[in-house]
Structure 1
């Protein structure tokens, strides 16, 4: 039997919380990403950027709603200015 690593909205939320971000339980992937970018400090921005790079470059499969939330909310917020 083959097992795939899947990252769903709860996995995304748990990763964001592990970075010290305050994300309520039960939110969608899009909402979690919106909470994550509110008031980003330079340190948190760097940690979030590393998390996104790891998720996008890793072997796990991101569910479409997670990939879309990252693309629409996190990536634009993490672009250096």
Structure 2
């Protein structure tokens, strides 16, 4: 039986860091999403809207706290 990889807090953080967003190691999903939204508001982060859209298509394999943080902070930030 094959198991899908879940998108957990560390995966979420790593994807944001790959876009150049400064997120401290060990940050919880809410902190990651909040920091990303703040940075995007100051100066648009290239690739962030595409990442949000991609992650939303993977909601079924996303841990609930990551999904909630995405909806709470990043969806409103990227419109």
TM exceeds 0.5?
yes
Q: TM-score under structure 2 normalisation?
A: 0.87
Gaps of 5+ in 2: none
Corresponding residue for residue 25 of structure 2: 25
SS at match of 1:6: coil
The structure whose residues are more often helix, as a share, is: 2
Corresponding residue for residue 51 of structure 1: 51
RMSD over equivalenced CA pairs, Å: 1.6
Equivalenced residues, count: 77
Q: TM-score under structure 1 normalisation?
A: 0.85
Rounded to whole Å, the distance in 2 between the matches of 1:3 and 1:10 is 18
Runs of 4+ displaced beyond 3 Å = none
SS at match of 1:23: coil
Corresponding residue for residue 14 of structure 1: 14
Gaps of 5+ in 1: none
The structure whose residues are more often strand, as a share, is: 1
